[in-house]
A = this chain, B = another copy of it.
Amino acid sequence: MTSPLLEQLIEAFRVLPGVGQKTAQRMAYHVLERERDGGRRLADALAESIERIGHCARCRDFSETETCATCASASRDVQQLCAVESPADRLVIEQATGYRGLYFVLQGRLSPLDGIGPRELGLEQLATRLATGEVQELIIATNPTVEGEATAHYLAQLARNHGVRPSRLAHGVPLGGELEYVDRGTLSHAFGSRSEMP
């Protein structure tokens, strides 16, 4: 390699998901050859985002303000709350469906072997919120995996304990699949025909 800095840049790109040595090289060369302005913007956006983006105090999604724009919005329906595992899942539901309620981002799923219990998922905070009587329906959109289903059952019980109706996305999401990779049409349909949990 002709430049130690360049070597360092290539290595740094490998932190991105799905980026191996070859792709990292291509990215580094591409930026240096043709996209120095864009590269500078990316460096700034990365540094500033990492510095300033934390979590919303209400929904636990990413936010640079204490309460995120969605939670602060007056035009969302406070009677519906949708629980998702990750910010990416929340984003894909927001983009694929016409949902106008609020969200709660678990930032994970119950996984006792990994030390992830109700506390790590913010479920005390969720319980407090369900206890206010404002929420009528808890739409449980955890992934259809074993751990996601276990989490769903736990959340459904929590909802019932507070007199809130739990619902689950309709069949349509492939079993064992990850919500984030489902096509919009399927997801929109599944979201629309969610069923009340018995």
Chain A positions near chain B (C-beta within 8 angstroms): 1-6, 8-9, 11-13, 15-18, 23, 25-33, 35-36, 38-50, 52-53, 56, 59, 61-65, 68-70, 86-88, 90-91, 107, 180
Nearest CB in chain B to that of A38: its residue:
B15
A12 CB to closest chain B CB, in angstroms? 4
- Taking a contact as CB atoms under 8 Å apart, the answer to whether A50 and B43 are in contact is yes
What are 15 inter-chain pairs, A to B, with CB distance below 8 A? A2-B59, A2-B90, A3-B64, A3-B65, A9-B45, A9-B46, A12-B38, A15-B35, A15-B39, A16-B30, A16-B42, A25-B91, A29-B88, A31-B50, A40-B50
- Taking a contact as CB atoms under 8 Å apart, the answer to whether A53 and B88 are in contact is no
Q: What residues of B have a CB within 8 angstroms of the CB of A27 in the complex?
A: 16-17
18 new A-B contacts, CB < 8 A, other than A2-B68, A2-B87, A47-B47, are: A1-B91, A2-B56, A2-B69, A3-B68, A6-B62, A6-B64, A8-B49, A9-B49, A12-B41, A12-B45, A16-B27, A18-B23, A26-B180, A29-B62, A29-B87, A32-B87, A40-B46, A40-B47
- Taking a contact as CB atoms under 8 Å apart, the answer to whether A88 and B56 are in contact is no
Q: What residues of B have a CB within 8 angstroms of the CB of A25 in the complex?
A: 88, 91
A32 CB to closest chain B CB, in angstroms? 6
Contact of A5 among B12, B53, B61, B180 (CB under 8 A): B53
Identical chains bound together, number: 2
- Taking a contact as CB atoms under 8 Å apart, the answer to whether A41 and B64 are in contact is no
- Taking a contact as CB atoms under 8 Å apart, the answer to whether B87 and A33 are in contact is yes
Contact status of A46 and B48, CB under 8 A, knowing A3-B63, A30-B16, A38-B12: no
- Taking a contact as CB atoms under 8 Å apart, the answer to whether B5 and A49 are in contact is yes
Nearest CB in chain B to that of A59: its residue:
B2
